[in-house]
Amino acid sequence: MTTYRAPLDDVRFVLHDVLDAGRLAGLAGLQDATPDVVDAVLDQAARLAETVLFPLNQTGDAEGCTYDNGVVRTPAGFPQAYATYIAGGWTSVTADPCYGGQGLPALLNFVVDEFMTSANMALAMVPGLSHGAYHAIAAHGDDALKATYLPKLADGTWTGTMCLTEPQCGSDLGLIRSKAVPAGDGSFRISGTKIFITAGEHDLAETIVHLVLARLPDAPPGTRGVSMFLVPKHLPVDDGGATRPGARNGVVCTGIETKMGIHGSPTCTLVFDEATGWLVGAPHKGMRAMFTMMNDARLAVGIQGLGVGELAYQNALAYARERRQGRVPGGRADDGVAADPIIDHADIRRMLMTMKAQLEGGRALAYWTALHVDLASRHPDPARRRAADDLVALMTPVVKAHLTDLGQDIADLAIQVHGGYGYIRETGIEQLLRDARIARIYEGTNGIQALDLVGRKLGEGAGRLLRQVFHPIDAFLADHRDDPVAAPLTGPLAKAFGRLQLATGLIARTALKDPSEATAAAHDYLKLLGLVTVGWLWARMALAARAKAGGPGADARFLDAKVKTATFYMQHILPQAAAHAAAIAAGAGSVMALDADAF
Ligand SMILES: Cc1cc2nc3c(=O)[nH]c(=O)nc-3n(C[C@H](O)[C@H](O)[C@H](O)COP(=O)(O)OP(=O)(O)OC[C@H]3O[C@@H](n4cnc5c(N)ncnc54)[C@H](O)[C@@H]3O)c2cc1C
């Protein structure tokens, strides 16, 4: 059996001591988000995650979802847990108060997401999608759609989906075939088949609000001809001001997938047969509207990597303390037992330090990016809003891909720490690797994230987005150039940052001549940017820990561990930057050397 405790101390350290997230309370509309309020909300979220969602994680995996003639049932306990979740107002954290929301920072919602995902990734996905649907409708829907759907998505009684994928159309959304025909009354008739739709049908909520990509009759080919439609499972009825689900709309679930992980999350095939829907945003501008949902979801999927990784790390650590095997050279030999705890072995330490350094560094990366989501939407200075928006645009693919890679690596290491007990089902560890795996695939595979970074984000505004990361790292290194205490951290960071700068210049130059050079380098470049940015955040964390140590009420052991883990990151993980830089410098030649039929 696995156990889970929300990592409140670490989250608070990142939010308050490193990122100074209390400054968000100075922004219009976020006055309530003081550090005290944030801490109180996180305490409650931790309790809900630990006591309501987590006990259903292993049982939900074992039981899975069932399908019977269009009806989908989630595992035992999921409907009650979801009811408790919405009763606590957890679906409305960031929603606008005028639609019944609490108007709290996006950053806070991402932390809540981390706890819920650690506790039960399959169940946490349902409110996650609703959150994305809420924001897409809020940004692009007309007033009538907003008035009908936003209060229901905010209070969680209705849930949301995103319906993009079709049998012939995955990464390439230009291949969408679903059709939308004007009905003459302002609505549309939507027809087509969508596959792999998370929570497309379930027994958790009164009804489901599908956001569907489809083509109008006059649509140009490719992604420029895709529009977004809101298609409810039930047509809404206005009962004297109160909206309720009415007659069934023309959408049915024809099956659910049997799959590797997240068994408690139904992955549905949905057939739309002249279903009634309404346009969200402008005709043929569906990609823009859907990107509001997808960008939010990409950060949330990065958080999934973090959440599953945290659960894996906690359980590996507990096991390493308790399991005894072998003698350590010069080891404890303390109590007459035949073997030392495996945590004393250097190879187990290597794995635990790797997990801890990647996880805590990844957390800083995710929350630093999420903080800028709030700055981008609320800062009074338009230039600061733009700068924050640039940073979020640049780092979204990095958070999504780097953190989901880490989540899977950490789950894999947790199995290794457990030995054979990690491989068998009973301990619950192998579930984490199976659950984490999908996060590298959906919301755009990690390969597609790398292409987005290199193909779109790097070149935008002649490197304008990149400056949001390069300038603060440069300034940090300059500020600490003569600081001998910081040198063990800033030395390796400066070296890796230099490699990143060179690789950026190289890609910019070669891509102009041959775009396939950039696409072949994309994966390595994303990893390099992720490693260096996390390195910079580790240096900041170590300095913040040093500054705090010795202060009133300081937890000396926690802060000392931060400094030591930062040093481990610089010495054992950041050097991977050299390998990625070398692969980028080698170019596309050997990647593409074999003809397709020579494999
Ligand atoms: C459990 C689960 C839940 C899901 N939930 C949803 C959901 O709620 N809504 C939804 O719409 N979809 C959902 N999906 C679908 C998911 O988003 C897609 O599977 C994903 O986007 C990849 O598409 P694909 O499977 O068609 O793979 P493909 O697009 O066929 O890709 C196959 C491989 O080719 C690579 N590739 C593709 N194009 C390129 C390119 N141009 N350059 C380089 N490499 C490329 C990919 O990176 C990948 O490695 C879900 C899938 C699963 C399994």
Any ligand 1 atom below 6 A from CB of 197: yes
Q: What is the pLDDT of residues 220-249, one digit of tens each?
A: 999 999 999 999 999 999 988 789 999 999
Any ligand 1 atom below 6 A from CB of 455: no
Any ligand 1 atom below 6 A from CB of 159: no
- Does the CA dihedral 341-345-351-356 come out positive or negative? positive
Ligand 1 mean position, distance from CA 533 (Å): 27
Rounded-to-integer distance, Cα 451 and Cα 401, Å: 11
Ligand 1 mean position, distance from CA 304 (Å): 17
Residue from 230, 221, 210, 228 nearest 175 by CA: 221
The pTM (predicted TM-score) of the whole model is 0.97
Any ligand 1 atom below 6 A from CB of 264: no
Q: Is 443 a catalytic residue?
A: yes
Cβ density class 145-171: b for 16+ within 10 Å, e for less = bbebbbbbbbbbbbbbbbbbbbeebbe
Q: What is the pLDDT of residues 528-568, one digit of tens each?
A: 999 999 999 999 999 999 999 988 889 999 999 999 999 99
Q: Which of 360, 430, 443, 517 is catalytic?
A: 443
Identify the residue whose C-alpha is closest to ligand 1 atom 50.
196
pLDDT at 227: 97
The pair of three-digit structure tokens given for residue 119, joined into one six-digit string: 């506790």
Mean pLDDT across 28-52: 96
Mutate to test the pocket of ligand 1, among 441, 443, 456, 523 (most ligand atoms within 8 A of CB): 441
Q: Residue 393 — very low, low, confident or very high, per pLDDT cuts 50/70/90?
A: very high
Q: Give the distance, in angstroms, between the CA of residue 59 and the centroid of all CA atoms in the same chain.
A: 24
- In terms of DSSP H, where are the helices of 323-381? 346-378
Q: What is the pLDDT of residues 466-518, one digit of tens each?
A: 999 999 999 999 999 999 889 999 999 999 999 999 999 999 998 878 888 99
Could you give phi then psi for residue 251, rounded to 5 degrees?
Answer: -135, 130
Any ligand 1 atom below 6 A from CB of 195: no
Q: What is the mean pLDDT of the chain?
A: 96
pLDDT at 384: 96
Q: What is the pLDDT of residues 99-126, one digit of tens each?
A: 999 999 999 999 999 999 999 999 999 9
Any ligand 1 atom below 6 A from CB of 171: yes
pLDDT at 572: 98
Mean pLDDT across 449-465: 93
Kindly report which listed range (180-194, 424-438, 546-560) carries the lowest average pLDDT score.
546-560
Q: Residue 353 — very low, low, confident or very high, per pLDDT cuts 50/70/90?
A: very high
Q: Residue 333 — very low, low, confident or very high, per pLDDT cuts 50/70/90?
A: low
For residue 169, the ligand 1 atom closest to its alpha carbon is 26
Q: What is the pLDDT of residues 126-174, one digit of tens each?
A: 999 999 999 999 999 999 999 999 999 999 999 999 999 999 999 999 9
Q: What is the pLDDT of residues 247-298, one digit of tens each?
A: 999 999 999 999 999 999 999 999 999 999 999 999 999 998 888 888 889 9
